Every structure is written in C-alpha cells, then in structure tokens.
Chains A and B, each alone.
Chain A
C-alpha cells in the first residue's frame, strides 16, 4: 500500500464517528485513552474544553476500573450520567480506549447502545494504530534525523515558554 496509512486511518475514524453523531443525534463524541488523552473528537466542541474533559474522563475511567475490581468485576463496560438537559454515555471500546457521547435526547439511549457496540471493534483498531512516517507528514526522513530535529525544535520552544 503506497497510500498514506495515517491519513487513511484518520479519515476512516472521522467518518465512523461522524455517522455516530448523526445517527444518535449526539452533541459531541470524544474518543479518549485510559490515560486521559484525547484521541479525537467529533460533533460540536465549541462549548467545552475538550482537553480538560479528556483528562477528567481518563480519571473516571481508571477510578471506575478500580471500583469494579473492589466489588469483584473486571470492569464496568458502560457508565451513564444523566443531567437535566445533557447526558453522557461512556463505554469501553477496548481495555485502552473509551467513547464518551454527549447528547440531549434521552430517547436515543437504545440506539446509542446498539451503535456503540457495533462500531467498537473497528474504532478500537483505528485508535490503536501506530504512527507511521509518511509522505503527507513532513517527518518522512529517517528516524534518527527526524528525532534529533524534533528534539532541537522542542527544546527551543520549551526554553522560550518557560524562561522566567
């Protein structure tokens, strides 16, 4: 495959999540690692800080897993938080990723359950895909050169940002 792997995976995941958003009338969907990093988000993200949300969801994810262990379960696969206007449905995709769906229409819960279960496998595969050097990303040089160039730039940025 000479096609760019990263771009193809990116497009496929975006398409899956976009159709999840429209099928289930979601406000927002966030795919988050167990460690609280955002893999990607779709839908409307203008009303919240998505990075902060991901960090908090990561915390919930690990806390919930520990709670599950304490009561003799491996994990709880679904969490539902109901608010007055907005609700959030969190489901495990694999051991390392979760999908958080923010929605307003409670009537969609059945649909949400079905669709998240259906797409979980593929979403998990795409989320776990490793970065591969490719043509659309400028870092297409050999790894050693790429890394050393990256470090040089990053150190420069750090010095500028943190200099007292």
Chain B
C-alpha cells in the first residue's frame, strides 16, 4: 500500500504480459474498528503511547473503566466505555476506540489558517505538522468530532497521525499491531469497506444485532477510520459519536461566503476611494482670505 514501486514491470522466462500489468493500486488506506469484537483491554492505548514516545500517565476514575474523560494532546487513542441497556432490557458494555477519523473532507484543515500546519496525504491520512502550527486552535473549532488537543505549554495541537510514519514504511499502525482480538484492521479503504460490510452481514444473520452497520459518515466525505457498530442507528450511544457529522455551518460560512464578501468589500473600498479622488479630488479651503498665510 505504501507505493507502487514494487509493482512488477518485467519477468524472466515469462510469455505475455506480466501479472498486475495495467492495474492501478488503491492508495487510500483505512483502519477498520470492529467495536463488536473489542474487549476493552486497552492494548491499543499502550501501543500508541509507546510508539509515539509519550509517558504513561495517571488515570482519572470516572465511574467507568475508561482511562480518563477525554483524549489529551499526548493521548491520541482512548477506549470510551458506555453502559448501555438494550431494548430487551439486558446490559451491554459499548467500547469504542476514539481518535481522529481522518476525514476525507477534514474540518480541521478547512479551519486552519497556517501554511502547511495540516496536510492530507494521497493515502487519506490527515497529519498535523507541529512546526507550522501557530496554536490558534481553529482546528478544534472545525473538527466535528472534537479530536485535536492543545498543549498549552508548547502552544501546539496534536492528534492521531494514523501512524503515518509507520504506514509510510509499509507497516500497520501500532494500535492495529497490538490488538489481541483482531478487532482492528488496516488495509486499503476499499478492502476495509468490503470487510466491514461482510462483518455487518454476518452480525445481522447470526446475532441479535439487526441494526448493525458501518460508520463511514458521508457528511465529511467518508473517513479513513471506520467503525462496525452493533447498532448503527444510534452511534451517539458509543461515547457520543455524532449521527450525521458535518463541518459546523458557521465554520463553512466563515471560510466560504464571508471571505469573498470581505475581500470584495476591502478591495472595493480602496478602489472606490481612488475613484472618488479622481472625480472630486482634495477639498479646497475657502473663506477667511484675510488669514491666507497664518
């Protein structure tokens, strides 16, 4: 998935075209989180800290098994625990790995004013370049999932990188490698969607989860981190996953029509002043001839 350089070009002792000739690879990657097989072991949380070189930190007890209430600038990956009562009256733990979804149309990137602080790679990963970040936190305002977190000391914002450094070297993200149940999958976006749909069919057919579904929200152009949910009609139950996430309307107005209006008004103001000067020129002093020189 990393790139096309290992595609076979020619082969010894081979008649006809080589296998794979004229095919194109799918460069878009995705992580699939099958929450139905998550056991809440937090191996992914630990792997994330280790790979990114962040220290372990004190947990904050909040009446659940959740490590702490929210993600942090040095904690990209948090299993959210929710106690859920099913319509049949049975009890269920909902455990969802929270973190950046790597939106195809990222609100963080739309909001960010700094040249190159946020980049989107051709493979779909959305990455923050802290050296270009100015610390304005507009990205936090733009993100429909409330993901980016601010480090007040360095004035930089951080979030999950989807292990772009590992993926670039042909490896899977650290969390995927650590997951003991196979609940985390990584591959091309197409393959992951395929896998997700198969899993959903399986759930519908063999379990009571008739509302099972894939979470790949269209409002942000789809995501490069997707979920399989037991009940896709109620994503909010999973630690507040928004049902129909969109870049906030006010952010779109701010970055769209208001920019045009403002540019037009400012340029128009300067042009109008110049035109006024050509037509009317400066004011002349009048009256008081007796004081002409003092």
Note whether A and B form a binding pair: no
